[in-house]
Structure 1
């Protein structure tokens, strides 16, 4: 088999295709969660901390830069940009929680969708043959 044929066989396996679909959907879902965090969750939280853009919070590690915007403060020297880190951390926690809930729901569906073994019904012919057998055993 040629290398292209082997690659085609590998790429068409169910696991690879499922993984590709998962990555694409995961990327789109990540953008949705980013928007949720940045546009809906972080504005009220940033209002609690002074009404500024939460992602622009930082601590300058030099003597200057306390009043500068984050971009200018980075040019002036090293800064500890904790606001952006906290935004990304909250984003991750929400994403991990949603994925956990999805997997939990899938596991519940998998458990309830598992086929329940049905009790085997013995055909009438077999029951009749058993009665005949048992009757013959009782005869002297």
Structure 2
């Protein structure tokens, strides 16, 4: 059993959003448990999907097996009112994110959040008089 975080985006013009959410949640409830359900509600999209600028967001945290995840993906691809879905395995991603945080801490100063190679000064271009850019005149 692995822990997953699932986000899916539903068409705001869907006839029954709650019924669609229950359908998707029941796929996961059949095998194991749904730890939390977060309804973000109607939000703006970063870019239009199917000529729509808003969609209904739902986030789930579950502990299930791979068969339930593959079934969820299959139904999400078939269902026309689900625009996008994203499934993250928290067990494998936790190790990756811990490693990335450790690498970032190595490259930062203790008093500053910026990387250690940053000294706070912007590079200035050297001043070159305009005369040096003039083209030579042809005689």
State if a TM-score over 0.5 links the two structures: no
Instruction: Indicate the structure with greater strand content.
Output: 2
TM-score by length of 2: 0.22
Instruction: Indicate the structure with greater helix content.
Output: 1
TM-score by length of 1: 0.22
Select the structure of larger CA radius of gyration.
1
Greater RCO between the two (CA within 8 Å, min separation 6)?
A: 2
